[in-house]
């Protein structure tokens, strides 16, 4: 039986952070299926799977909410939100 060092697990998760969503999804799904077929034969597979699922959910973006053509909203004259900068003229 091969024992993995905790640092090796960290290196694998650090590598997985660089993957795109589709690649990360396939890696996570493949490891999950392998863990279902051959349970407890791969050391730290459950911990690695939990870390990959965390990375997968963190990289999941809602494309309908992120639009690049959206202009920032500026308040109308007289309606100022407390703490909001409305005039950037600092020199007198």
Interval 22-67: pLDDT, tens: 898 888 888 888 888 887 777 777 888 888 888 888 888 765 565 5
pLDDT of residue 1: 46
With contact defined as beta carbons under 8 Å apart, do 2 and 43 qualify?
yes
Per-residue pLDDT for 12 more than 70?
yes
Our measurement of the distance from residue 18's CA atom to the centroid of its chain's CA atoms, rounded to an integer in Å, reads: 10
Percent of the chain scoring above 90 in pLDDT: 0
Read off the pLDDT of each residue in 80-84 and give the average, rounded to a whole number: 63
Contacts 24+ apart (CB under 8 A), 10-15: 12/48, 13/48, 13/51, 13/52, 13/55
């Amino acid at each position: 039986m091969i024992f993995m060092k905790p640092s090796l697990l960290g290196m694998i998760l650090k590598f997985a952070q660089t993957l795109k969503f589709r690649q990360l999804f396939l890696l996570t799904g493949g490891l999950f299926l392998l863990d279902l077929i051959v349970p407890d034969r791969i050391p730290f597979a459950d911990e690695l799977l939990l870390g990959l699922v965390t990375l997968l959910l963190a990289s999941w973006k809602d494309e309908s909410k992120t639009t690049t053509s959206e202009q920032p909203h500026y308040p109308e004259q007289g309606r100022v939100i407390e703490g909001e900068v409305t005039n950037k003229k600092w020199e007198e």
